[in-house]
A and B are shown apart, each in its own frame.
Chain A
Amino acid sequence: MSNTALIKEFEAIVGADNVMTSETDRHTYSYDAAVLDSVMPALVVRPTNSEQLGKAVKLCNDNGLPLTVRGAGTNLSGGTIPHPGGVVVLTNGLNRILELNEEDMYAVVEPGVVTAQFAAEAAKRGLFYPPDPGSQTVSTIGGNVAENAGGLRGLKYGVTKDYVMGVDFWDVNGELIHSGSRTVKCVTGYNLAGLMVASEGTLGVFDKIILKLIPPVKAAKSMMAIFPSMKAASETVAAIIANKIVPATLELMDNFTIRTVENFRKAGLPTEAAALLLIEVDGHPAQVEEDAIKVEDICKQNKASEVKVANDAAERDAVWQARRDALPALAKLKPTCVLEDATVPRSKIPAMIEALEEVSKKYNLTIGTFGHAGDGNLHPTILTDKRDKKEWERVEEAVDMIFERALALGGTLSGEHGIGLAKSKFMINETSAGTLAYARRMKSVLDPKGILNPGKIIG
């Protein structure tokens, strides 16, 4: 940034140590976890309290500087890639748990609190925060709310939005906006907290988030069911739900992923199996026993060749280790790993799996598929090398086709990764020209200079 006076102003707000201007520092905030080109910001600032954050936002707006808020930068849709010449506002200096209320079961946190650390802190107080995105050991609550992050427990416990009771945020004028409350019920005014969830930093800058907590689970039982076809496995998913059982997790792995994971861990996975379902039921001990037996029966009725029920903690851990290994194992095969999150209604999973096989053949690409079958959220993972230009073109076309098919099946562009830069061009296909115009009108009023994370979601 050539304007040294402006840098001085930022320094006056957050302190000189918290304003980064060097080429090297700026470069390390030019990307996130999405496979997209990096964009250099002009400046990186790190507020360490609420007041500093509000002033920094106002200063950006006063000077028409594009502003992108960044937590851990684990975003998979480019939502934290800055705008050229813009400012990155880091939230990792805002990482305090302000209140953890055991009596009323809620917490108030700053946006930079790391998800897994927060969940662990809640667990210490005998409470449960269920959302568990794959990046939870580093991702922040602010980012989770901004992207409406999901996770393995989405089927039974819902996703981040189901735990957001309120959000305080700064508007572009530096006014602190309050929304929601510490009460379970609250109908005061517009549901601004709801509006802020999944807004990806385009409507305001989070200052505080009020999160709902629930009592911890008393018992759980895990099992692994082996299937001779993807069709049988995906039909089982539908059958379990149709029998009115909602497992805490219901995960699917295809043969390619099974073989890759087995090659990686040598944990004795059935490499011949066409598909695996990893299932966990939880709740009251008596109910868990009953549900586990029912699920086992349903699996067998739906052609499972074998159902292995974990008898102790070690066996349970082995089941989930296999699932946790899916992405790391796939990621080691090729340099570039495009992890998509096309999502369809549960009943359409067999059709979506077929579509993915078709995409893989048509574009001659290796696709490993695993994911949260229970909530219809699949992770087709394309393995490639982005340096191979010809193959990369095929990857881009394949991604287009995956979204087309997901939408045709009544699905959605993104189950949990967000729209960001990566999928904004597809928005019109899922919504409508009118919807986009409405969203753009709304943003233009709330953010007249267009400084809040420009280019994301609505283009």
Chain B
Amino acid sequence: MEPHRQPATIRKRKWNATKTAVLLSVLSMGLGQWYNRQWIKGSLFLILQFSYVVVFYDIFNMGLWGIVTLGEKPFRDNSILLMAEGLIAIFLILFGLLFYGLNIRDAYQVGRLREQGLRSPGIWASFRAVTDKGFPYLILFPSFLFLVFVVIYPLLFMMLIAFTNYDLYHSPPAKLVDWVGVDNFTALFQLDLWRNSFVNVFSWTVVWTLVATTVQFALGLILAVLINQKRVRGKRFFRTVLILPWAVPPFITIITWAALFNDDFGFINQMLSTLGIGAIPWLTDAFWTKAALLLIQFWLGFPFNMALCTGVLQSISSEMYEAAEVDGASAFDQFRSITLPMVLYATAPLLIVQYAGNFNNFNVIYLFNQGGPAVPESTAGGSDILISWVYKLMFDISKFNYAAAISIIIAIIVMSLAAYQFTRTRSFKEEDMIQ
């Protein structure tokens, strides 16, 4: 075919080389490139497509069949493994489609070039174009793959479980698992086990999130400001000491705290008794357990915030403070109108992340007192937050499908709150506060 040169208005109505190339590419990878006289590239594409189909044929065959049916014969078919395989097959197909789309786009672009009367680029030119223009993508591709299979894959797998009847009575190999649509979500709200506890647990979860996060941030900020004062000597020493709670693995410290808070044999109660205050039922009374948990979380959480705020404080120019002093502002005024807005502006996103993190802070709650103390007539312990309660309840009764369904619900709650906060924080508005 000869390259056309026609006014654009006519070109739209006429059949032309570009369309032919695109159409051929849609038929099979490489055909459009051949049509565009890019023989080597076209052949490479064709070989790639052919090998892709041959190599992955089994995975597609088994995986797609598996994820749709979840197996047909117990003992021969393991539904859960089939689901995993099906997910991999879908990922591979998406990757395939991505390349397929790129091949069509390539045919289109080269076709356009030919219409303008230019020669199609040779193989070397194409190769160079990929390594030059596509360099960032090339470099990022391995880590992207890794991310897909390490982060996205398990998440999707968990979400799929929420739509099945996977529990103790539907466990491979003896039983098949089936798709049950949104039944789990509706069944969840009919469970008697929720009724007496949900409101209590949810309200404590909210209180815990707000108090723990706000105070750990405030403590961090106050300490950072104090240490940052010009008059303070030994800044380094104080910073090191105050960073320590963050440096020790929280698993160990939480369990240590649990021992220190022990009602009868813990160091804290012995100290209180010696002081004549008397022992406090830290682990056996819901209120005091909550208090102890908050104290522990403050202790665990402030060092990170202190480090964070220290960093931000360094970047506030001293001219502002000097100007404020000339205007006769007190130290408190300076803190309120300069330091606080600046710090909040810079740390808002991380603060939101911490709120979300504490909402699901399983470790502290579970390791300190397993969500206890027990509360009469309730499936939740006195200090259980949503995530720890659900974990205990669902794994106790082996309802993996419910556990997955609730995880989705919790994730939606946290994500929507975080998204709402993010859009409202000033760091997303076009304001130029920090030069």
A and B are partners in one complex rather than unrelated chains? no
Chain B: residues with CB nearer than 8 A to chain A? none
